[in-house]
Amino acid sequence: MRVATELTGQREIILFAYRTPHADELNLWCERDGRLSLYLSSSSEAASFSVPQLGALETHLCFTWNSSTGATALFMNGKKSLTKIYKQGHTVRPDGKVVIGQDLDSYLGEYEAKQSFVGEISDVNLWDSVLSDSTIKYLSSGIRISGGNVLDWGSIEFKSSFGAKILNREL
């Protein structure tokens, strides 16, 4: 995804939420202290990365997570973080909804305004396998290899909510 915001340091910012009737299956947050975090299955435990603060200039972000090994990394503008082990063997459940820039507090879509993203988000793609480092580097430079095989930014439809365009799509 590509993201730009001036909210950092003021509050937590939700970038991406995937929720099933059971739980928040996969959430990406910018924490108040600037860390970027991946949460799986409504866990209080996250894979968190200390990186330069997001800002008004567009930043390309790509989280990778391998279920079988737990290997988790963050790429920021094509540069890879340290690899951390997180939720090895975990499975993300199907039949959920994706919302960009807002946290689904329930499967039916209750929201809190103070958690909403303010800024720009684009090029959100999701794959069911880990991309190679070189592919992520190409994507960060603006070279479009292909859209995600689970979620493809080039072919999604948006639903307007809270005066913003929000992706509300079932996967």
String of DSSP letters for 24-83? EEEEEEE-TTS-EEEEETT-S--EEE--PPP-SS-EEEEEEE-TTT-EEEEEETTEE---
What are the b/e assignments for 60-80, b being 16+ CB within 10 Å?
bbbbbbebeebbbbbbbbeee
Read off the pLDDT band of 164 (50, 70, 90): very low
Residue 117: which pLDDT band, with cuts at 50, 70 and 90? Answer: confident
Q: Could you tell me which residues come within 8 angstroms of residue 44 by beta carbon, excluding any fewer than 6 positions away?
A: none
d(CA 79, CA 14): 22
- pLDDT in the model for residue 128: 94
pLDDT tens per residue, range 2-20:
999 988 677 888 899 998 8
Residue 104 burial class via C-beta count within 10 angstroms: exposed 0-12, middle 13-18, buried 19 and up? buried
Of 90, 87, 107, residue with least CA distance to 171: 107
Select the more confidently predicted residue: 96 or 1: 1
Average of per-residue pLDDT across 145-169 = 70
Average pLDDT of the chain is 87
Q: pLDDT > 70: what percent of the chain?
A: 87
Write the pLDDT tens digit of every residue in 29-50: 999 898 999 999 977 899 999 9
pLDDT score, position 166: 47
Other C-beta atoms within 10 Å of 108: how many?
9
- In CATH terms, is domain 2-170 a member of 2.60.120.200? yes
What pTM does this model have? 0.87
Task: Give the start-to-end residue ranges of the domains of the chain.
Answer: 2-170
CA distances (Å), 80 to each of 3, 19, 63, 107, 133, in order? Answer: 17, 27, 10, 33, 8
Q: Which of 44-53, 55-64, 88-97, 111-120 has the lowest mean pLDDT?
A: 111-120
Query: How far is it, in rounded angstroms, from Cα 45 to Cα 40?
Result: 8
pLDDT tier for residue 107 given thresholds of 50, 70 and 90: low
